[in-house]
Homo-oligomer: A and B are copies of this chain.
Amino acid sequence: MWMTWKCALLNLPYGGAKGGVCCFPEEMSVNEMERLARRYTTEILSMIGPEKDIPAPDMYTNENTMAWIMDTYSNFIGYAVPGVVTGKPVSVGGSLGRKEATGRGVAHTVKMALEKLQLGKDEPTAAVQGFGNVGSITAKYLHQQGIKVVAVSDVQGGVYSAKGLDIPRLLSYVAERGTVVGFDDLDTIENKDVLELEVDILLPAALANVITEHNADRIKCKILAEGANGPVTPEADLILQNKGIFIIPGILANAGGVVVSYFEWVQDIQHLFWSEEQVNEKLGYLMGRAFEEVYQVSTNKKVDNRTAAMMIGVGRVASAKMLRGLYP
């Protein structure tokens, strides 16, 4: 359901669905994984297709899985159908720029928020909780935008530097060591403390429900961008709103991933592939438009950003449903 609202908010011509297989992937060989993926594909064959339902990788699946699904489906159809799944390797029809899409999108919304709040003049500061695909890529782009990232953390702990961290070097460090801990011999800071730092921008990019009624009071940022899904509980949300924090809800902030999945599908359908620059430019356009629409509804209807985003997403689905009617 959430995917449906997210797609509607971004104006992607998609609904939302989810499917899976009960199994123990850790105990399976690659060959078993492949056979399972192919069997599963044939079982759902009549329900998927580039015009019907387009799977993408999720837990325990990756771009290899997508290649198997695409190959199995194509075998049934009789020719290569790359558009049946997204998240494929580039060499079998995937899109350039997909891996960085979510982080790039988060950074874009942060940039727009800074402009709206007129916070961009001085060097704003940021703290990033979670340094996986989303957190690290976002940090990279925040840094490029001239934002001083003062703290980052991962499951092993975090590092803090009031002068700002050298993100490019940090990324290399993490690529080698697998953690941010120990970078530049900085002291380790606890994960939960990262959230409570006095920064302009807070980016929870790890788990859900990290900001609750218990620590919401102590959040001191001006902008909170939800890199993870649901990092703020409903109770905490009210507290943060009352404190006047500008929240960029996950449905908007981390939509970059599905946007580029959509772009992959469009390229596959057109059989015409875009350069990474084109992908990024179109991603920026869609993210920017959605941000602006949320901001306008929020301002005009005097609601918070999260409510505004939902009003747009649900409203668009409802409007289309009414126009099409119930038949038969």
Taking Cβ atoms with an 8 Å cutoff, the residues of A that contact B are 11, 13, 34-35, 38-39, 42, 45-47, 49, 51-52, 64, 67-68, 70-72, 74-76, 78-82, 89, 91-93, 265-266, 269-273, 275, 285, 316, 319-320, 323-325, 327-328
Contacts and interface: CB of A to CB of B under 8 A. Distances in A.
Contacts of A71: 324-325, 327
Given A64-B323, A91-B320, A266 B273 contact: no
Instruction: Name the prevailing secondary structure of the A interface residues.
Output: helix
Given A67-B324, A68-B324, 18 more contacts: A13-B271, A13-B273, A35-B328, A38-B328, A46-B46, A52-B78, A52-B79, A64-B323, A67-B323, A70-B324, A72-B328, A74-B324, A75-B327, A75-B328, A92-B324, A265-B271, A266-B272, A270-B272
Given A93-B13, A316-B91, A320-B92, A78 B45 contact: yes
A45 B64 CA distance: 26
Contacts of A327: 38, 71-72, 75, 328
11 contacts: A34-B325, A38-B328, A49-B79, A52-B79, A71-B324, A75-B328, A91-B320, A91-B323, A265-B271, A269-B270, A275-B285
